[in-house]
Structure 1
Amino acid sequence: MMTTSPPKHLLVVGNGMAGIRTVEELLALAPNSFHITIFGAEPYGSYNRILLSPLLAGEKNKADIITHPLEWYATQGITLHVDNPILSIDRENKSVTDSRGQSHTYDTLLLATGSHPIIIPLPGQQLPGVVTFRDMKDVDTMLELAKEGKRAVVIGGGLLGLEAAMGLLKQGMQVTVVHLLDILMERQLDAAAAALLKSALEERGMQFYMPAQTAAILGESQVSGVRFQDGSELPADLVVMAVGVRANIDLGKAAGLHCERGIVVDDQMQTSDPHILAVGECAQHRGMVYGLVAPLFEQGKTIARRLAGATDHSGYTGSTLSTRLKVTGIDLFSAGDFLGDAACDTILYQDPSRRIYKKLVIKNNIVQGVVLLGDTVDGSWYMELLREQKEITPFRQQILFGRHHLGDAGHGATKVADLPATHQVCGCNGVCKGTIEEAIIKKELTTLEEVRAHTKASASCGSCTGLVEEILAHTLGGDYIPAQSKSLCRCTPLTSDQVRLAVRDQQLTSVVQAMQQLAWSSPDGCPSCRQALNYYITVFYPATIQENPADRFVNERLHANIQRDGSYSVVPRLWGGTTTPAQLRAIAEIAERFSVPEIKLTGGQRITLLGVKKEQLPAIWAALGEQELVSGHAYGKAVRTVKTCVGSRWCRFGVQDSEQMGVLLEKQLWNSWTAHKYKLAVSGCPRNCAEATIKDFGVVAVEAGWELHVGGNGGIKVRVTDLLCRVESMEEVLQYSAAFLQLYRREALYLERTAPWVERVGIRWLQQQLVEQPDYRQQLCAEFIQAHQCLDDPWSTRAQGKLGTQDFLPLTSIPFRSLENVA
């Protein structure tokens, strides 16, 4: 008699929107494939966090925003643990421990832990009356305080802060929004749109104090006010911190999962543990951590298909983002690159008296970004054009007037009447056009809110609101009356690019000066921003750089890579992957002398000594230095290695001397601090044995010279290089390599690898800078040489001494070789 095995156990940590949507998708695809257990930190079923704003405003109650009451879990056969967060993960035994000390096993673990609100480290931050705006408990606290006090200060003029401010305003409080910059919602709006938005909110009674930096929260047993850096003060009975969120990676990090800003996942949403997946705000995919609901739901679909055993799904590849302001009476939509660059055209319509603002950023007749204020009915259409990169040439002259006004010009711009009933309008909630039309007719719906209430269309992220309004207008005809809308770190609301440009343009030559000039919220900064500032200053003002251990990552201070067991790896540099018997003997003798547990050949054609103790590092580097072996920078955001094949010197297929070319490149570029790790390779023929076409800078030999490739990556997301150009001589290769590296150092963001940078700026732009402007190429080379004359291994200049937090290890250096004498 055959027996069927019991279903596998899926354990979900997090009862929020991302985790529940994943479970819903799985139940639809394979309802009996898993026994599902969910742990939630809050005492409710899942609710729509996006609707906290109308809950605070009194426009909805808790029952309205709870999407999955407790009964739903029971009917689906799901075991739910509310008010019971998971505290730890035992990956070896595939189990978790909850807050009550109970252990639970799993076959697959799904982390949907969301994010933490950012708390600005200010004096008085822990006073009663200081709240964040993240969950229903925060809303309850604010509603209680609104009954007792009349004055509220909201710190943060972004999306979340304005929604909190409007909710408190509707509760009868006097509300002042404090913002560090003079532009509201700077991540979504340009200055003109922000000014119109500010004016509209002021008409509703909201006050603003900006630009202003908060210095302290005042009060003894309760909040009484806020003090600013200029000494001015505002009275307050309630202070709301709404300056952003940070991915909740605590559980994953403690379990040893690969974490950066979020828990790093691949296209199948798998973490570094094959039995653990992550979804939502806690997950980092291709360098992005998403805080909007649409990407979270797309990730959930990917996981559900994977768990259901689907084989026809390539995975999650990222999302194009859009933002809506959820403030009653103000319609605002923003998506894509709404600022553009010099190569972009801006199409603009502005009617200040009606507070209508429309802006489209166009590049090569393709929409790159959009900002709409006051009239957002075409937002979803512009989003479609942006996401699908549709050519707009046939209707460019009429595009700002919307889809309704295109007539025959709108080839490729599908009108709402032409959309099939099966067209999915709301991706978040899976609502099709036919469902909306049927609800409008049968239930006699006439407003957007009624459609949302009956169909859920546009009730989540809101990016489809414009299309829903179009369907309303088309269905009702004349009866339709339209309604009347990543900082660098926690120490600053400024983006990495804003900080980079400020360092360059304001001539900020020290980390301390930069923090003071840019109004850092923390006087000492944090490891993230100190390292970024140090890097930007190194690039633009190398002669002024000061040695401060706090400005360098610990691996860079110690010239070694820390390993999972707390030991270190030491990687001496072997130029172009070549070595000598004397160097090999020296490395072997040093390994024996210091009882190095393991020696391994690396993927970059080097030798690594593994398992080195921290206290051994100074002596090991001193011994290696005696043999003129310098660091391979395997630990740093720096030029790593140049991988080579033997080329024409030995290989019967080789057409150029790739080995010599690789050695020359490495001796020219080594010891360069870069935005991220930077790898090179030289292949001696198009067979490409050195894998040059997945490197940051790759050189491939051809009969007539060399092909130069840029922007490759062989990591989690493999990216093949773009061809920059072809050159004839080794001297040209060296010139282009220095110029490209210097341009990357100048223009890329800290921790941005060349692959995403090249995708962002475009290979055509790089060719314009480097190939079509030889004078500029020479200028970049000169900058590179000058920087290295200033920075000839500044971290090796400290005297030998006891290894400690204030000491850099000595690092043997060879003289920098300029382009003229590198050979």
Structure 2
Amino acid sequence: MSARHVAVVGAGMAAARFAERYHALGGSGRVTLYGAEPRAPYNRVLLADVLAGRFDAEAIALPIGGAAVRPGCEVVSLDTAARTLALADGDSAEYDELVLATGANPVLPPVRGLRRPDGRGLRAGVHALRTLADCARLAEEAAGARRAVVVGGGVLGVSAARALATLGIQVEIVHQGPYLIERQLDADAAAALRGALRALGVEVYLGNRARALTEDGEVELASGYRLGTDLLVLACGVRPRTALAHAAGLAVGTGIVVDDALAASAPHVHAIGDCTQHRGTVHGLAGPAWEQADVLAARLSGSAPDARYTGSRPLARLSAGPLEYAAFGEVHLDEADPGDDPGLAVVRLTDTTRGSYKKLVLRGDRLVGAILLGDLTTVGDLARALERDEPLPDHPLHLLTTLGASS
């Protein structure tokens, strides 16, 4: 039997997915989403596409089943013994089951000169990109900008750079890592991606760190080189939002610690999404957040009360013309000493004319990782092969060329 009232702290992607699946699975209890933002849930992954004008804000709204949403209603404290929430407007709410889906905050790099002189907020022209409000402010300033610097060459940084370039702005990415999106791509894929960015007019400075934003509005690198800019976009990752859980006495590491039932350290309290740490891992990606939401919805709705979350094989994906890529599984295994894993094999297919790069990482006859860049035709079939962990065909190169046609 499902709970009478499930309170969800947060109204982001994980919260929306939980609410939609809870009702789809027959949960009879009342679900309420308490969101700090003044909007109903939306797909944060598509913010760069909103910035580029591919979607408007309403087009990225997410379904929530029969849940109630209280936007602009931040939860400021919780009492796990009394099972109550205190809200920013002075109101309070009771719950039978509590789901913490508080998400994450953008990380601000240690760059001098980012904040206003009074310390309240970022300087004009400096932007994070985490919410629709952030996106609207950036779009407004981008309308009169000619040059932009993006600090951070991960998924968000590349997406933001691509979006700004489509608006006719000259963009430069400053990235401390040895190559772009190093968590999901390998060096060869990143080189192809860098070439695609350069074709859009985006320059990339690798192995560089932004040190300061000068009074003249220039970005000073650690090398002393300066980049003139009208906009500075900070895309340096996120940090789980755990202050509420910590103040309530819950176990917190990097994120809110949960077990395979997605239960936190107090009875009737659960956590999902970017704020969550499971088996020592904080994923920070939409795919794992939705998988966690699905498991918890099955448990609390009563449709599968023994459902367990045992971890995820995240899929990172960007679909935007010449910058299409997908990466999933253990793509870096081949970079270790081959003697450590004698059953490992790697298959690569590169088409320099079309700017595509494909890589499969195999252990025996099983797929354990893949990268596709420039051609995502077989991404669905490869993702299913990884998930099912089934033996592969004798000639794995065919997985990169004919699997989609044969399924």
TM-score, scaled to structure 2:
0.91
| Unmatched 5+ stretches in structure 2 | 116-122
Cα distance, 1:312 vs. partner? 6.2
Structure 1 residue identity aligned to 2:353:
S
After superposition, where does 1:214-233 map in structure 2 within 5 Å? 214-219=210-215, 224-233=217-226
Is the Cα–Cα contact under 8 Å of residues 347 and 400 in structure 1 kept in the other structure?
A: no
1:372 aligns with 2:372: yes
Deviation for aligned residue 1:331:
1.8
Task: Summarize the alignment of residues 739-758 of structure 1 with structure 2, pairs less than 5 Å apart.
Answer: none
1:397 Cα deviation after fit = 5.4
Contact 1:336–1:369 under 8 Å retained in 2: yes
Counterparts of 1:184 and 1:355, CA distance in 2: 16
Corresponding residue number in structure 1 for 2:201: 205
| Cα deviation code 1:417-439 (max 9, x no counterpart) | xxxxxxxxxxxxxxxxxxxxxxx
1:130 paired with 2:126, answer yes
For the residues of structure 2 that align with 1:241 and 1:125, how far apart are their CA atoms?
10
2:163 to 148, 160, 167: 167
Query: Is 1:240 equivalent to 2:233 in the alignment?
Result: yes
Match of 2:54 among 29, 36, 59: 59
Q: Following the alignment from structure 2 to structure 1, what is the Cα–Cα distance between the partners of residues 357 and 398?
A: 16
RMSD across aligned C-alpha pairs, in angstroms?
Answer: 1.9
Separation in 2, partners of 1:178, 1:325: 20
1:147 equivalent among 143, 148, 152: 143
Return closer, same or farther for 1:266/1:354 CA change in 2, 3 Å cut-off: same
1:85-122 per-position Cα deviation (integer Å, ceiling 9, x unaligned)? 11111222211111112222211111111111111122
Q: Structure 2 counterpart of 1:107, which letter?
A: D
Deviations 1:283-334 (A, max 9, x none): 1111222222222222112112211224564311111112112333322111
Cα distance in 2, alignment partners of residues 42 and 61 from structure 1: 17
CA contact (8 A) 1:26 1:308 kept: yes
- Tell whether 2:325 aligns with 1:329: no
> How has the CA–CA distance of structure 1 residues 125 and 28 changed in structure 2, closer, same or farther, with 3 Å as cutoff?
same
1:96 aligns with 2:85: yes
Q: How does 1:317-716 map to 2 (within 5 A)?
A: 317-340=310-333, 341=336, 342=338, 343=342, 344-396=344-396, 398-404=398-404, 415-416=406-407
Following superposition, the deviation at residue 7 of structure 1 comes to 6.9
1:62 is displaced (CA, Å) by 1.0
- Contact 1:58/1:170 (8 A) holds in 2: no
The equivalent of 1:120 in structure 2 is 109
Cα distance in 1 between the residues matched to 2:208 and 2:163:
22
Q: Tell me if structure 2 keeps the 8 A contact 1:12–1:37.
A: yes
The answer on whether the counterparts of 1:359 and 1:372 sit within 8 Å (CA) in structure 2 is yes
2:15–2:101 Cα contact (<8 Å) kept = yes
Cα deviation for residue 64 of structure 1 reads 1.0
Number of residue pairs matched by the alignment: 392
User: 8 Å contact 2:25–2:303 — kept in the other structure?
Assistant: no
Pairing partner for 2:13 from 14, 17, 21: 17
- Inter-partner Cα distance in structure 1 for 2:219 and 2:280: 36
Query: Contact 2:347–2:397 (CA<8 Å) still a contact in 1?
Result: no
**Higher helix proportion:** 1
Q: Any idea what the Cα deviations from partners look like across 1:491-524, whole Å, max 9, x if unmatched?
A: xxxxxxxxxxxxxxxxxxxxxxxxxxxxxxxxxx
What SS is found at the alignment partner of 2:390? coil
In 1: Cα distance, 2:58 partner to 2:393 partner: 48
Q: Which has the higher contact order (CA 8 A, sep 6+)?
A: 2
Instruction: State the distance in 1 between where 2:198 and 2:205 align.
Output: 12
Provide the residue aligned with 2:253 in structure 1.
Answer: 260
Tell me, yes or no, if structure 1 residue 42 matches structure 2 residue 37: yes
- Give the 3-state SS of the residue equivalent to 2:143 in structure 1: helix
In the alignment, residue 228 of structure 1 is paired with which amino acid? L
Partner SS state of residue 347, structure 2: strand
Query: 2:33 & 2:366 partners in 1: Cα distance?
Result: 44
Distance in 2 (CA, whole Å) between partners of 1:111 and 1:175 is 37
How many percent of aligned residue pairs carry the same amino acid?
36
Q: Of the two, which has the highest radius of gyration?
A: 1
Given that 2:84 and 2:92 are in contact with CA atoms closer than 8 Å, whether structure 1 keeps it comes out as yes
- Which of 291, 315, 327 matches 1:298? 291
Closer/same/farther in 2, CA of residues 397 and 82 from structure 1, 3 Å limit: closer
Task: Say yes or no: does 1:273 pair with 2:266.
Answer: yes
Where structure 1 has 5 or more consecutive residues not aligned to the other structure, the ranges are 1-5, 406-414, 417-823
List per-residue Cα deviations over 1:387-435 (Å, max 9, x = no partner).
2222225333533323157xxxxxxxxx32xxxxxxxxxxxxxxxxxxx
Contact kept? 1:265, 1:283, Cα under 8 Å? yes
Deviation string for 1:702-741 (max 9, x for gaps)?
A: xxxxxxxxxxxxxxxxxxxxxxxxxxxxxxxxxxxxxxxx
Secondary structure at the residue paired with 1:128?
coil
Return the alpha-carbon distance in structure 1 between the equivalents of residues 212 and 397 of structure 2. 52
Once residues 377 and 320 of structure 1 are traced to their aligned partners in structure 2, the CA distance between those partners, rounded to angstroms, is 20
| Structure 2 Cα separation of the partners of residues 129 and 276 of structure 1 | 40
